[in-house]
């Protein structure tokens, strides 16, 4: 799917929070970015959530004692830095991957926005007009990252 140069970069991806207390490294492929416009993501992020994802086995976290998890629904939790408040992760119960906020990645990411989801729940103060496919829920789109 991706060309080799992109794969190389995505196999050595790093990121972290605004203050630097929480850093992470991904030693495996990343999923393209999905923008979620659901009301939970909008409240948690202040706008909408743009996230890539990686298999659990491929992500390692430094400063995890500064990472706080909030149970945002019965089936998911969100991870943020307890010092600076940066939103870093979304983790669905029983899913084999962890979603990572695209804005927390170090540049260049080599990633592209691939999908807008929960578009019916978007805020009324913006339009989605970038030509990227839109759907409510996933509708046939598999959000699981490559397992590498
Ligand atoms: Zn921080
Ligand atoms: Zn959402």
Tens digit of pLDDT for each residue in 56-104?
999 999 999 999 999 999 999 999 999 999 999 999 999 999 999 999 9
Question: What is the CATH number for 130?
Answer: 2.170.150.70
Identify which ligand lies nearest to the alpha carbon of 40. Answer: 2
Per the CB < 8 A criterion, the answer to whether 78 and 44 are in contact is yes
Task: Look at residue 143 and tell me if it is in a domain.
Answer: no
* Protein residues with C-beta less than 5 angstroms from the ion ligand 2: 36, 38, 41
Residue 146, in any domain of the structure = no
Q: How far is the CA of 45 from the centre of ligand 2 (A)?
A: 10
Domain with 39 in it:
4-135
- The yes-or-no verdict on residue 8 having pLDDT over 90 is no
In a domain, 145, yes or no: no
Number of domains comprising the chain: 1
Find the distance separating the first CA and the last CA of the chain, reported in whole Å: 12
Q: Is residue 127 part of a domain?
A: yes
């Amino acid at each position: 799917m991706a060309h080799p140069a992109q794969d190389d970069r995505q196999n050595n991806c790093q990121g972290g929070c605004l203050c630097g207390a929480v850093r992470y490294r991904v030693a495996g492929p990343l999923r393209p970015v999905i923008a979620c416009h659901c009301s939970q993501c909008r409240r948690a992020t202040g706008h909408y959530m743009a996230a890539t994802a990686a298999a659990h086995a491929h992500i390692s976290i430094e400063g995890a004692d500064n990472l706080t998890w909030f149970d945002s629904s019965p089936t998911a939790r969100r991870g943020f830095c307890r010092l600076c408040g940066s939103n870093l992760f979304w983790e669905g119960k029983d899913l084999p991957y962890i979603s990572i906020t695209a804005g927390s990645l170090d540049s260049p990411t080599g990633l592209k926005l691939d999908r807008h989801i929960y578009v019916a729940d978007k805020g009324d103060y913006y339009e989605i007009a970038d030509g990227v496919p839109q759907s409510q829920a996933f509708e046939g789109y598999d959000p699981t990252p490559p397992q590498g």
